[in-house]
Chain A
């Protein structure tokens, strides 16, 4: 008996070890596959950047040229000097920054009131906010246009901004975070005679600073990227946002890919940087707004 056991045990051990080795080989293979797929996924972006650094003549030369032969910023200089891109950029910065600040402040106020205060109509307001989550804003474009035209705000920054300020999700996220602030903080502040505004700006907001940053970044990215409404609200070339304007660059230059893609890279740069610098916050904001506590 004992001899049988003695021979069986090492055999079992070696089989476990060989199994371990195959998994580590499998692991390496999967990792390699992951890297390859990621590289393919990233390739269109890489190709856009490379193309923007080529001369117009090199972009149309046959074959796969992964690096520019003579890297040049001519495409960039051209779109900056010969198109309205700098103006579009300013329009985008102005509208996106205002949308971010106003909608975050507005939502924090509303979220705080709904979470911490009792007032008539509170329940109705909360239900409406939850319900509005479902409404497709793209179905409202016709009426947004009529309203904004009615108050003579077409082709103005304010006209672009107003319909984009409705962000029910931001209110919902704030309310949930304010709900989870322990009762004691509020009671202590009441004893110190703090009013509600001090409570919001000195206690509740600073305690949830991370959430505010996350929501602000994602609101900024959303505002910068929105296409349909700015496209309708700003028909005048001087009032376009960069997101809308860069397609005009393409129309006027025909076959000049370095310029067109230089415009595209410039238009995508602020949001790409916002993501790369605040990767964790963006991730948090997205999982939060989908209703998953990350």
Chain B
């Protein structure tokens, strides 16, 4: 019995070891190191001096930092709720279809989601091209002139948001479809017998039963979009990046262009805290739902 237990421990250790090693080295260690680094004035590579809360004080007074917080929030605002609403509408349309038609239509909506961001960037950079982009045919009659979208600051974030919704919506659509499939059919049959209209059915059956999935989509999207970097970085390249700077981009700039690892780590800690707060909220929301 005792030997059995020893072998069980040994086997478990062998099975768990590779994961624990990588997890410790690439996750726990950098997380702790990040916090330490944020209290130093270290460059990207090399040692620095302990400076206490200096970086944090600097961050709270840094206009570019607050601008990045604002831009990130603005992007979140433009993507999360509108994207989820569009995904719900599309899921309601797709769920009515059957068999092959459904997989074909679903593929059209989902395909962008599996593509790398750089592919999405190249496609949209071409579509929105100032001289030859197809979208200019829509913009020109409305605005009276062509718009250099990625160099016109009021246009930048809304355009990045549209592109992001196009790119990532497949994910939410899938979750909504799974949620819709879990609604018992006989509820609708009973409602049909009561002569309920389509809208009444949606209001009193679909919407309440789909609410948990909606909350899930909203929170997943929220946490995802707080970490926005790729699109904004790629489209702002070569332009005035300051005006459209987002948080991860500011970390990147401080670390890799300004060579200040310590301050970059401080902003990383800020991002870390923001995301963890929202994740805990998400966890609470899901737990409440689980207890019901």
Contact = CB atoms under 8 A, between A and B. Distances in A.
A176 interface: no
24 contacts: A39-B108, A41-B108, A45-B123, A47-B123, A106-B18, A118-B8, A119-B16, A125-B20, A139-B268, A141-B252, A142-B255, A142-B261, A143-B33, A146-B44, A147-B30, A166-B23, A224-B116, A247-B121, A247-B122, A264-B118, A264-B119, A265-B119, A267-B118, A279-B103
A221 B111 CA distance: 12
B220 interface: yes
B88 interface: no
A263 B251 contact: no
Most buried by B among A33, A48, A279: A48
Nearest to B277: A134
A208 interface: no
Most buried by B among A117, A122, A145, A264: A264
B174 interface: yes
B66 interface: no
B153 interface: no
A261 B28 CA distance: 40
Interface in A246-274: 246-247, 250, 257, 260-261, 263-265, 267-268, 271-272, 274
User: Looking at chain B's contact residues, is the secondary structure mostly helix, strand, loop, or mixed?
Assistant: helix
Contact of A45 (B25, B111, B248, B265): B111
Q: B interface, how many residues as a size bin?
A: 35 or more
A287 B119 contact: no
A275 B110 contact: yes
B122 A260 contact: yes
B126 A48 contact: yes
Interface stretch (A1-9, A181-189, A225-233): A225-233
B157 interface: no
B85 to A, nearest CB: 14
Contacts of A51: 126
A219 interface: no
A166 B29 CA distance: 13
A64 B136 CA distance: 11
A144 interface: yes
A44 B124 contact: yes
Given A117-B8, A247-B234, A37 B27 contact: no
Given A114-B16, A132-B27, A143-B30, 19 more contacts: A30-B96, A37-B90, A37-B93, A39-B108, A47-B127, A109-B18, A110-B18, A118-B8, A128-B23, A138-B227, A139-B271, A140-B31, A143-B34, A162-B22, A232-B252, A257-B129, A268-B115, A271-B115, A287-B175
A292 B93 contact: no
B123 A195 contact: no
A53 interface: no
A163 B265 CA distance: 17
Given A38-B105, A139-B275, A292-B178, A64 B234 contact: no
Contact of A42 (B94, B108, B248): B108
Contacts of A133: 279
A27 B20 contact: no
Contacts of A93: none
A171 interface: yes
A141 B268 CA distance: 9
A59 interface: yes
B1 interface: no
Q: A interface, how many residues as a size bin?
A: 35 or more
A71 interface: no
Most buried by A among B9, B19, B115: B19
A191 interface: no
B233 to A, nearest CB: 9
B256 interface: yes
A113 interface: yes
Interface string B94-119: 10110000010111111110111111
B37 interface: yes
B96 to A, nearest CB: 7
B137 interface: yes
A215 to B, nearest CB: 14
Given A143-B37, A267-B119, A268-B115, A110 B105 contact: no
A225 B167 CA distance: 13
A129 B227 CA distance: 20
B166 interface: yes
A10 interface: no
Contacts of A247: 118, 121-122, 234
Nearest to A274: B114
A112 B14 CA distance: 11
Which 9 residue pairs spanning A and B have beta carbons closest together?
A134-B279, A143-B30, A119-B12, A110-B19, A109-B15, A42-B108, A225-B116, A113-B15, A34-B93
